[in-house]
Structure 1
Amino acid sequence: MNKRRVVITGLGVVSPNGTNVSEFSNAIKTGISGIQYINELNQLKFSCQIAGKPRYKDDYLNNYFNTIQLKGLNASGLEYGVIAGLDAWKDAGLIISDKTENPLWDAGIIFGTGVLGVDKFREAIYKVDAGKVRRLGSTSVIQTMASGISAFLGGMLGCGNITTTNSSACSTGTEAILMAYDRIVSGKAEIILAGSTSDSGPYVWGGFDAMRILPHKYNDNPTEASRPMSATASGFVPGSGAGALVIESLENAKKRGATIYAEILGGHVNSGGQRNGGSMTAPNSMAVKECIKRAVINSGIDAKDIDTINGHLTATTKDATEIENWCDALDRKGKDFPYINSLKSLVGHCLAASGSIESVATVLQLKEDFVFGNINCEDLHPEIAAMVDRERIPSKTISKPLQIAAKASFGFGDVNACIIFKKYS
């Protein structure tokens, strides 16, 4: 029996280089970086004093939150997720139901995060320690529980189907999209708002600075710091934001005349079990290759059909290993290798939000037939150059007819996720 076709009908994004889809699309096409110097990190004696952080004025939140919701709001990841989620919902042409109406039984939320409301949690700790527990406010729990983001969106939109939050480190966003896809394929829902978000700030990024895996030589040149696939890559730049996609059955999308961005053919999620070289912080190459291979099989395509890859590629020593894994999994190399890029060159590593933000970028490429350029990659890593033709790693955006794109994310804990997207026709 043929499985149900699943499509993407709405996009939303809050990224270091664009707080809506239009800004974001222009930024990735023209190579605009969102990485900036953060004085607070200097004051706190971070080695890496730069980051990718979304920028908007406080009054921008009035477009998404009412006065009551804004009172005491101090959770950047919640802000980003709500903005991206509501934008995607509206972009899909879906209405926000009245509070007196029944829930939307066939519409749900799967919105992931690594942590939520770290700044709010810090605020709560200080107040509790000072004996001022009654001054915490009524929303401190909602802002700090991981599922606060899906619960917040579910209540705003009136969704009556699954409303949940997943958490799988850097693969969270990619996994959320595949969870939504599986639920719609199985007939348990018609529409799922899927995505992920990540808080900003020193309390999120500090642990990575302590691990000494962030670059520290580019504090005076922030936009040059994130260098995926480069010979001079020296660690990932921390980032934050949110990405959101409305995932929908093709039948439902056609019934309501929705604009369709792309189709999801399938994918796969797995774990390396922290075996065979895999660890809490390093991927097991065998599992990565298995994830890619099974995603291809699940999607019903041949590996040679993939035109472009949006990789995980974090600007660490593992970039060359990731390219090798793609070459082995697809049995393609040299000039036969697909085009490949890394959004992290433009926004840094947005942690739990990375997979969803990067999926938005992947879908935009398919819809508009372009491959965005990899900035800071003029000095291609020699090991990568030995495997893949230089033309396949464009430094500047190129126009190219595309049909099929792969997006993969590999996270702490040795977890992997890979999606196959297709141009809708």
Structure 2
Amino acid sequence: MRNRVVITGLGVAAPNAVGIPSFLDAIQAGKSGIVFQPDLAELKFSCQIGGIPPVNEAIRNQYFSELQLRQLNSSGIIYGVIAGMEAWQNAGLPVATDEPDWDSGIVFGTGMLGVDKFRESIYKVDEGQVRRLGSTVVIQTMTSGVSAFLGGMIGCGNQLSANSSACATGTEALLLGYERIANGQAKRVLAGSCSDHGPYIWGGFDAMRVMPYQFNNDPERASRPLSATASGFVPGSGAGALVLESLESALERKATIYAEVLGGHQNSGGQRGGGSMTAPNAQAVKRCIQQAIQQAGVQPDDIDIIDGHLTATIKDAAEVTAWCEALGRRGDDFPYINSLKSMVGHCLSAAGSIECVASVLELHHGFVYPSINCEDLHPEISALIAPERIPQQVIKQNSTVLAKANFGFGDVNACVILKTFYQ
């Protein structure tokens, strides 16, 4: 018999807020975290705006020593540790002392980590200064660097790993943690993902011309998912983290339960049927949603909210079409649908986890956050669903079931079904 899995801890470092209390206020208010980035302008980027978490010195000092901060220049590790440790503390869990916590594990993913450290290292190696590289180069640049940092800080003795599946990384991490607990191989898993920021991460996307350049003087209006004037995604960074726990363990220690994970699905379009390295196979997207619903044991009509991937590109209308076909719902019958990227931009490998945190908060606190900047709804989307199903102001509503999905480069998909917890 599979274990029921619930969420008992949350942590976040997002462009519009750091920490759960501030993030909750920000997403309810529709607060944007996208600002002008002078370094991008100096480097002649077309898109000169982005979302970077407002992490100050006081926040850093809560989690890192002065020596660590002198050595660290991987923003992704900093964001991941902040979000991960907040989630662990939010769950009311202790840090292991003499012996590892054999029942607790970590799955914390990322995409490109430590690029600034790579750049620094390349110059030193090319100049024959290998001995001056320092002792943290490998830790800061390996994909599992964040999970390794967190594993040591918490003392986890169960699975300790990192995943990497482009924009689907965070949602995939949640599903990997869910499966481990459901199968009885762990009691708790800290699941999440993070992303570095900066020109060396974002430059390739600017070269692909998939980021907007028309809003450099008006950054807060730039990220426009579902809009007719959407012209590309705004880059962002940060981290999100969730503590997944068996229901039995959560009840035993009287933990706050934010939501239940009912199940989900991951697949790939195989870069066939219209799918490519950068574009999704529509059939695979639809199938991923349908399989997630089936695995979760719910019906399409049960879904109250869709927290979409919705990047503010030409694929937004195709995504809404896939949801309509997968659910067999449209018009006034369609669930509420929103996109956190309207406020924080596309946080790349951190997108899924930050958006999953927002989704859990929606269920736990009974609201639907606004999808800002889509006052001019895309005509292909308005032909499919009623405009009022896309909230532009916060809506107070006690929802029961939420579907969260992310679709990434490489034609990969992940969808998780979350539910308000009722004992």
More moved, 19-28 vs 51-60: 51-60
Question: Which residue identity does 1:266 align to in structure 2?
Answer: G
Cα deviation for residue 337 of structure 1 reads 0.4
Kindly report which structure 2 residues correspond to 1:71-90, keeping only aligned pairs within 5 A, or say none: 71-90=70-89
- Write out per-residue CA displacement over residues 176-209 of structure 1, whole angstroms, 9 at most, x where no aligned residue: 0000000000000000000000001000000000
Alignment pair present for 1:114 and 2:111 = yes
- Write out per-residue CA displacement over residues 341-360 of structure 1, whole angstroms, 9 at most, x where no aligned residue: 00000000000000000000
Kindly report which structure 2 residues correspond to 1:340-355, keeping only aligned pairs within 5 A, or say none: 340-355=337-352
Of residues 205, 208, 222 in structure 2, which corresponds to 1:208? 205
Cα deviation for residue 371 of structure 1 reads 0.3
Query: Using the alignment, how far apart are the partners of 2:129 and 2:348 within structure 1?
Result: 33
Query: Using the alignment, how far apart are the partners of 2:135 and 2:418 within structure 1?
Result: 42
- 1:374 paired residue number: 371
- Write out per-residue CA displacement over residues 202-234 of structure 1, whole angstroms, 9 at most, x where no aligned residue: 000000000000000100000000000000000
Alignment pair present for 1:145 and 2:142 = yes
Kindly report which structure 2 residues correspond to 1:319-398, keeping only aligned pairs within 5 A, or say none: 319-398=316-395
- 2:184 paired residue number: 187
Question: Which residue identity does 2:30 align to in structure 1?
Answer: G
Question: Which residue identity does 1:404 align to in structure 2?
Answer: V
Q: Matched residue of 1:316: which SS?
A: coil
Q: Matched residue of 1:171: which SS?
A: helix
Query: Using the alignment, how far apart are the partners of 2:60 and 2:224 within structure 1?
Result: 32
Cα deviation for residue 110 of structure 1 reads 0.0
**Normalising to structure 1: TM-score of the pair?**
0.98
Query: Using the alignment, how far apart are the partners of 1:56 and 1:290 within structure 2?
Result: 39
Query: How big is the alpha-carbon RMSD for the aligned residues of Structure 1 and Structure 2?
Result: 0.7
Kindly report which structure 2 residues correspond to 1:17-416, keeping only aligned pairs within 5 A, or say none: 17-98=16-97, 101-416=98-413
Query: Using the alignment, how far apart are the partners of 1:326 and 1:190 within structure 2?
Result: 33
- Write out per-residue CA displacement over residues 358-407 of structure 1, whole angstroms, 9 at most, x where no aligned residue: 00000000001100111100000000000000110011111011000000
Cα deviation for residue 160 of structure 1 reads 0.5
Query: Using the alignment, how far apart are the partners of 1:251 and 1:151 within structure 2?
Result: 27
- Write out per-residue CA displacement over residues 266-324 of structure 1, whole angstroms, 9 at most, x where no aligned residue: 00000000000000000000000000000000000001000000000000000000000
Query: Using the alignment, how far apart are the partners of 1:195 and 1:416 within structure 2?
Result: 16
- Write out per-residue CA displacement over residues 13-48 of structure 1, whole angstroms, 9 at most, x where no aligned residue: 000000101111101000110000000000000000
Query: Using the alignment, how far apart are the partners of 2:169 and 2:352 within structure 1?
Result: 7
Query: Using the alignment, how far apart are the partners of 1:134 and 1:399 within structure 2?
Result: 58
Cα deviation for residue 58 of structure 1 reads 2.9
Cα deviation for residue 59 of structure 1 reads 4.0
Question: Which residue identity does 1:23 align to in structure 2?
Answer: S
Query: Using the alignment, how far apart are the partners of 2:371 and 2:170 within structure 1?
Result: 21
Query: Using the alignment, how far apart are the partners of 1:374 and 1:79 within structure 2?
Result: 28
Q: Matched residue of 1:170: which SS?
A: helix
Question: Which residue identity does 1:212 align to in structure 2?
Answer: R
**Normalising to structure 2: TM-score of the pair?**
0.99
Query: Using the alignment, how far apart are the partners of 1:232 and 1:71 within structure 2?
Result: 43
Question: Which residue identity does 1:94 align to in structure 2?
Answer: L
The number of equivalent residue pairs is 422
Query: Using the alignment, how far apart are the partners of 1:395 and 1:121 within structure 2?
Result: 41
Cα deviation for residue 252 of structure 1 reads 0.4
- Write out per-residue CA displacement over residues 66-118 of structure 1, whole angstroms, 9 at most, x where no aligned residue: 234223111000000000000000000001122xx111111000000001111
Q: Matched residue of 2:71: which SS?
A: coil
Query: Using the alignment, how far apart are the partners of 1:340 and 1:149 within structure 2?
Result: 32
Q: Percent identity?
A: 64
Query: Using the alignment, how far apart are the partners of 2:91 and 2:261 within structure 1?
Result: 16
